Amino acid sequence: MTAAPADRAPRVLIIIQNLHVPFDRRVWLECQSLRRAGYDVTVVCPAGPDSRPFEVIDGVEVHTYRSRPSSGGARGYVVEYAHSFLATARLVAKARRRGRIDVLQACNPPDIFWPIARWLRMRDGTRFVFDHHDLCPELFRSRFNGTDGPALRGLMALERATFRTADAVTSTNASYARVATERGGKPSEAVTVVRTGPDPERLRRGPEDPAWRGGRTHLVAYLGVMGPQDGVDLAIDAAAHVVHEMGRDDVTFVLMGGGDCFEELVQRRDRLGLRDHVVMTGRVPDETVLSVLSSADVGLSPDPRNPLNEVSTMNKTMEYMAFELPVVAFDLVETRVSAGESAVYADGDDVVSYAHALVALLDDPEARSRMGRAGRRRVLDELAWKHQEAPYVGVFDRLVGIERTPVVIPAPRAAADASVVDALVASPGDA
């Protein structure tokens, strides 16, 4: 173990490819936690709409590059990731000119930054933390219906190389931690569960804005990415069933977020005759999110069952809980771990079951209130970032040789059904 010199703060460099800071809430919480713990923090990430090539945000140095969005398909992602890797490597070299980097953290997807970690290790003895956000092989299978073939085998090889290079892994839930130990071959002491807990002080119910209801009794909200694996198409189909088949004209749906499928989803909404009932905002500022979620009655987590979603933690679910919103979800392992009694669970990926579960909840204000309180309490007692901060900072402290007074943090729950994870960790091609 190489400790940072006593005359300077230990330096951490964080790499992200799919979002910019501070828009990536998990990474921004990590940055602020490291800053409070006395670390010097630098981030390399793609630029957002208002980003500068270099700026200092709340004490964090941020280097950005203009991303090259994928044109679609496997070839398009190869081109996008090659561009990101080269741009990131250039900015890492630039950031290193200011001084030695003690710890590099790379966040996935994709699993392509381990060569940079090895380069820094050879030059400076830099330690490498893999912040494991997604299962890239399962993401491929879920997004492209991929089966065993060169692309999947390549993703598995990149994942293995990332795990093999990492000195420590921070996993977003217990299912991902099992992937790290069983498929990635990491010893359990090198893997730490760090959930993407919401900040309950920032994410809390505020004044309602009746305008979001559009003159109707109930408001149902969605917040999140709109990609092929996120189930927003199922939410729109469920809304169509609620409005057209169940005859409920008293519900307004507000779907917030953007993604690869946004335009296609808008067309689906219009084709189903839902323009007057379903508002699709695209990406919106925090003020809009706070206003909508403070006004809503129910939050939607329509993620369908697939190899990725089954074992992934959905940030939107916990954000709904922070706003005291009951959740309607499909019955996925880690969704049930996160939400517990604050959600109702529809059968399979059945849209009709989802619609009926939603309407039953809308018609039961007492259940909504009870479930909302339970969700908020679970965020405060277990899921909030303050419960994740000490284990997260502890990973870096161990790598650079810092000793602090231990803080007792509640242990994270294990996956509700380990058998589901067992089917994945050996090889996603066999799941």
pLDDT of residue 18: 86
The rounded distance, in Å, linking the Cα atoms of 20 and 62 is: 9
> Residue 49 contacts by C-beta under 8 Å, 6 or more apart in sequence?
none
The rounded distance, in Å, linking the Cα atoms of 237 and 352 is: 9
H helix intervals, 241-302? 262-271, 286-295
Query: What does each of the 431 residues of the chain score in pLDDT, given as a tens digit?
Result: 444 555 789 999 999 998 899 988 899 999 999 999 999 999 999 998 889 999 999 999 999 999 887 666 667 778 889 999 999 999 999 999 999 999 999 999 999 999 999 999 999 999 999 999 999 999 888 877 766 788 889 999 999 999 999 999 999 999 999 999 999 999 999 999 999 988 899 999 999 999 999 999 999 999 998 988 899 999 999 999 999 999 999 999 999 999 889 999 999 999 999 999 999 999 898 999 999 999 999 999 999 998 889 899 999 999 999 999 999 999 999 999 999 999 999 988 899 999 999 999 999 999 999 999 999 999 999 999 999 999 999 999 999 999 887 654 444 444 444 444 444 444 444 43
Asked if residue 149 lies in contact with residue 163, where contact means CB atoms within 8 angstroms, the answer is: no
Strands 54-57 vs 60-65: parallel, antiparallel or unpaired: antiparallel
The helix/strand/coil state of 170 is: strand
The count of other CB atoms within 10 Å of the CB of residue 225 is 18
Sketch out the chain's domains with CATH numbers: 11-196+385-430 (3.40.50.2000), 210-382 (3.40.50.2000)
The helix/strand/coil state of 309 is: helix
